Every structure is written in C-alpha cells, then in structure tokens.
C-alpha cells in the first residue's frame, strides 16, 4: 500500500508546501481536488520532479452524473481533467455523482450515470487513467448525494464494465452509511482503486474515534491491494505530530 496526504492537511499552506511534507513523512502522493485552481500546471510538474513526489489524485469538474442534460458538460470536464493529468502525471481521477433529482426515478438516474460513465470509459482507457466514482454519506456531510451505499456503487461499476472505471472507498463515509467496513472494503476490493481514511465521529485522523484502523488497514493489505490510501481527514493536534502518531501507532502494526 501507498499513502497520500490531502490538500488542506496544512491549513493555509500551498501545494508545494504539502508536497514537501509528503516527502518528509515518507508518503508517496498528494491529493489535490480542484486542479483548475493550480495555475501553471507545467511549472507544478517541474516542482514535482524537483521534490520527488507528486499529485496522486485529482477530481473531475463538479458536474452531476445523474442529470442527462449535463452529459456533454461532464464529458468535456473529463477531457480537460485528463489533459491536466497528462501534464502532472496523475493516474487517478475522483468523481462525485451529484445529488438525487426529485421527481425522477432512481433507476432512470442510475442508468443516466452508467451511460455517461460508459461514454467516459474509452477516454480514460486511452489515457491510462482510472476514473473513480465515490459514494458519500448523506446523513452527516452530503445530504441528497445520489450514490451512498457501496453495494449500489458496485452495481454501477459492473454495468459500466471498464477496467478504468472503479471506486474510491471512503471508510469514514461508509462507516456512517452502512457500517460493515471490513467486509465491504475487502469484498469489493477488485472494484476499488483507492481508499480514503478518517475516523468517526468527527472525520479526524485515524485513532481518534471508533474505527480500528489497525484491523481495517491490515485487512485491506491482505487482499493484495497496492494502491493509494489517502488520509482525507482533519487533525485534532499539530499535523506533523498526528501523522507521526499514525505511523507509530497504526502503520507500524500493518506494514
């Protein structure tokens, strides 16, 4: 497994500062969501080369997957994101799904999503990039988000049928939505490209809540997973101290 930090881990600090911290902590990547805010991408690519680590994931443009009228806009956003990834060497792109549309059946919205993802798939296959659909919890953080459960998300991925369209499994979100974290995080491992971790409640660093991350990460590792696990969390103490504690108290028992 490889580990990434997420932008915002060091509030008020820029992408270069975050990349240097990734390197300092011995992690392998940084997730930066709104790539369109980065400015000169070629300049950032040169900085990544200098530092020795780079962005591991970005997001697509935030356009609904369940609104058929926005399909062309979503596809254009995907093309733009792929070009940004080409410059930056990024191989994972995260997509949210958009909120459920009132008055339209879930089946219709799900099929709209599947069809849009099917049209996206060849673009990502040609680029060698994985598009990752992310279910989010609707109870605490994302009321109305269309995809929330991992089982329904897997059904969508299976209907798309592309090796370059998979899932981000966010342990924090799925603990809130459905529990059963280890069973789902490992049972769907072949459809998962990337994991996010944070504790619950509070979405702070692992070790501050109810989730046993030694057991969770060990179970994920035992599936043979070699991709990224991103610390998408806040920090209750100084970030450097929290990361050091995560490595000492949790990772030392997993790796």
Query: How confident is the prediction along the chain (255 residues), in pLDDT tens digits per residue?
Result: 999 999 999 999 999 999 999 999 999 999 999 999 999 999 999 999 999 999 999 999 999 999 999 999 999 999 999 999 999 999 999 999 999 999 999 999 999 999 999 999 999 999 999 999 999 999 999 999 999 999 999 999 999 999 999 999 999 999 999 999 999 999 999 999 999 999 999 999 999 999 999 999 999 999 999 999 999 999 999 999 999 999 999 999 998
> Using CA atoms, how far apart are residues 211 and 201, in angstroms rounded to an integer?
9
Q: What is the pTM of this model?
A: 0.97
> Using CA atoms, how far apart are residues 62 and 48, in angstroms rounded to an integer?
25
- 253 Cβ contact partners less than 8 Å away, ≥ 6 residues apart: 214, 218
Is 232 designated active site? yes
Residue pair 38/28 in contact by the 8 Å Cβ criterion: no
- 33 Cβ contact partners less than 8 Å away, ≥ 6 residues apart: 6, 7, 58, 59, 94
> Using CA atoms, how far apart are residues 151 and 217, in angstroms rounded to an integer?
20
Please name every residue paired with 166 in a beta bridge, in sequence order, or none if there are none: 132
Class in CATH terms, 2-253: alpha beta
3-state secondary structure of 231: strand
> Using CA atoms, how far apart are residues 22 and 228, in angstroms rounded to an integer?
13
pLDDT value of residue 174: 98
Domain boundaries, the chain: 2-253
Please state the φ and ψ torsions of residue 87, each to the nearest 5 degrees.
-70, -40
Catalytic residue among 102, 134, 152, 210: 134
Is 134 designated active site? yes
pLDDT value of residue 255: 81
Catalytic residue among 68, 76, 232, 241: 232
3-state secondary structure of 104: coil
* Cα distances (angstroms) measured from residue 95 to each of 61, 65, 125, 217: 8, 9, 16, 23
């Amino acid at each position: 497994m490889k580990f990434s930090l997420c932008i915002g881990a060091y509030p008020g600090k820029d992408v270069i500062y975050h990349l240097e911290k990734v390197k300092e902590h011995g992690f392998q990547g940084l997730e930066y969501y709104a790539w369109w805010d980065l400015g000169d991408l070629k300049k950032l690519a040169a900085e990544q080369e200098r530092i020795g680590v780079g962005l591991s994931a970005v997001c697509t443009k935030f356009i609904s997957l369940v609104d058929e009228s926005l399909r062309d806009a979503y596809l254009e956003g995907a093309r733009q994101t792929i070009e940004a990834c080409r410059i930056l060497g990024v191989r994972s792109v995260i997509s949210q799904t958009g909120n459920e549309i009132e008055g339209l059946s879930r089946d219709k919205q799900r099929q709209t999503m599947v069809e849009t993802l099917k049209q996206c798939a060849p673009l990502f296959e040609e680029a060698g990039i994985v598009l990752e659909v992310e279910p989010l919890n609707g109870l605490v953080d994302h009321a109305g988000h269309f995809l929330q459960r991992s089982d329904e998300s897997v059904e969508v991925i299976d209907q798309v049928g592309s090796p370059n369209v998979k899932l981000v499994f966010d342990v924090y979100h799925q603990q809130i939505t459905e529990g059963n974290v280890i069973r789902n995080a490992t049972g769907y491992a072949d459809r998962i490209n990337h994991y996010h971790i944070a504790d619950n409640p509070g979405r702070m660093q692992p070790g501050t809540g109810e989730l046993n991350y030694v057991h969770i990460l060990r179970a994920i590792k035992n599936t043979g997973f070699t991709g990224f696990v991103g610390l998408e969390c806040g920090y209750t103490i100084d970030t450097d101290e929290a990361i050091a504690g995560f490595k000492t108290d949790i990772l030392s028992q997993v790796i």
